[in-house]
Structure 1
Amino acid sequence: MSFKAAAPSVLFVCVKNGGKSQMAAGLMDRVAGGAVTSASAGSQPGSAVNGLSAEALAELGIDISRNVPRRITREDQERADLVVVLGAEAQVDEVDGTLYERWETDEPSERGIEGIERMRLIRDDILERVTALHATLTRR
């Protein structure tokens, strides 16, 4: 894979840009240590980061509490080497020259798991996926 810049760039997208995509970008920043550029956006952004998402990442020493949800733009997609869409609900109009993949992440609420326990399971699922993606993107 060839990259548009010196470091590979990933844009994580979910509907509200308040939970999963924010978590994925924060986790990628931690895992990659600058070797991968990450950003996040939403197809229908909310007004704030989900408090439980922020709490679950804070347990790992990652602070996303001050991040502000924002709407995905065509320019965001054009800058990214890869756009990762988290969940089935987020819809993105794909642009040429950018790769896309969709992650169907764990949804513990379907098993009756709620609150911080739910968010920890989602965090851990995303962390596993981000770690694998980082390894793929930085393989030379």
Structure 2
Amino acid sequence: MPTASMLFVCVKNGGKTQMAAALMRRAAGDRIVVHSAGTTPGSSLNALSVQVLKEIGAHLDGEYPKPIDPQLLSEVDLVVTLGDEAHLDAPAGVVVESWDIDEPSERGVDGIERMRLVRGDIATRVDELATRLLDATR
């Protein structure tokens, strides 16, 4: 039975937020209901995001970039924005956290290695958040 619900938000909803959602589903199973959305969703998932998730047994099966659903936004327990480009006007009472995700491309790291580093940063944050949310419901 789910104990919490959350929404990951970025701009395109094709890479980092999809990755965060998949990692949270893997970490928390059905104990946390997880959604992801974009402020201006793209048209497809980032292929490297999909690939690096598969490397660790996580997946994005059936997922696609989605816009923010205002009804969902008002009902979740927590919203996490990834990166500083996603701007969100959350309804009163909705808790919003912002994660400044490491961007390896700023250091000249690109391709699959970049995505593995991004995955690592997000996975660490997701694991900490899952523990916090699950501990709060005990």
Q: Partners in 2 of 1:17 and 1:81 — Cα distance?
A: 20
Which segments of structure 1 move beyond 2 Å, counting only runs of 4 or more? none
Residue ranges of structure 2 left out of the alignment (5+ in a row):
none
TM-score normalized with structure 1 length? 0.93
How many residue pairs get aligned? The number is 136
Match of 1:13 among 9, 17, 24: 9
Q: Partners in 2 of 1:106 and 1:6 — Cα distance?
A: 30
Map Cα deviations across residues 13-55 of structure 1 (whole Å, 9 max, x no partner). 0100000100000000000011111010000000000000100
| 2:85 corresponding residue in structure 1 | 89
Backbone CA RMSD of aligned residues: 1.3
Pair 1:35-2:23 in alignment: no
Tell me if structure 2 keeps the 8 A contact 1:54–1:65: no
Q: Greater helix percent: which structure?
A: 2
Percent identity between matched residues is 50
Match of 1:132 among 111, 116, 128: 128
Residue 6 of structure 1 deviates from its aligned partner by 4.8
Q: What pairs up with 1:36-115 in 2 under 5 angstroms?
A: 36-64=32-60, 66-115=62-111
Q: Partners in 1 of 2:61 and 2:6 — Cα distance?
A: 21
Residue 97 of structure 1 deviates from its aligned partner by 2.2
Q: Partners in 2 of 1:58 and 1:72 — Cα distance?
A: 26
